[in-house]
Amino acid sequence: MTDSNRQLLTLPRALFATLLALGAFVTALSAPSLAGALTLGSTHVSSNSNSGAFCGGFETCGYVQTALPNATTRAPFDGRIRQWKVNLEDPGSVQLLVVRKQPGGGFKAVESSAARTTSTDGVKTFGANLAIRKGDFVGLNLLDMDVSLHTLDSMGAPLQFFTPSFQVGDIQQPFAPFFNSTEFLFNAQLKH
């Protein structure tokens, strides 16, 4: 075989390898990133606010934000929550929840972080290791009468209120009607 014939055979192999690599690159661009994170809940946690929410005279309570304009409140894929944030107006004990909507309108707490108690207000960041399934929401337990968190007025931001606070395995019906335009300043980082 002459050198010119070898070059002709090498050219299609090189072209094939280039096309194969290009196809893999395009596929990688269209697939969701496995290393990426997604925020569930408020994207305004660090915002200043003159309004807040608490348990309203109940000893403990829970909240679930079911929609927000320009934000995600429902997990779009199965994953884990590794971190969460809350902007407290008054310090106290809080707990992050993973809740699942049930037939009939109730919500079931399927996972919870450890209770976290703070002695100062402002934005707090906590670690977690909670499994969450596609379609689940995150919620927040307020575990004492004195704790309150910052809120923002936000049209199209329905929020469900529960009392007492959730225990894992509990199914509760929300109070109705309740907030429909209040954004609670808490969120969780969802990772694949």
Q: Which pLDDT score, from 0 to 100, does residue 178 have? A: 65
Query: 171 near 58, Cβ under 8 Å?
Result: no
Q: What is the pTM of this model?
A: 0.81
Q: Which pLDDT score, from 0 to 100, does residue 34 have? A: 43
The low-confidence residues of the chain, meaning pLDDT below 70, are 1-35, 176-178
Q: Which pLDDT score, from 0 to 100, does residue 27 have? A: 38
* pLDDT tens-place string over residues 78-124: 999 999 999 999 999 999 999 999 999 999 999 999 999 999 999 99
Give me the CATH topology for the region 37-191: Jelly Rolls (2.60.120)
Q: Which pLDDT score, from 0 to 100, does residue 36 have? A: 74
Residue keyed to tokens 């192999």: 13
Residue keyed to tokens 């007492």: 164
- What is the Cα–Cα distance from 177 to 161, expressed in whole angstroms? 9
Query: 185 near 151, Cβ under 8 Å?
Result: yes
Query: 183 near 42, Cβ under 8 Å?
Result: yes
Q: Which pLDDT score, from 0 to 100, does residue 6 have? A: 52
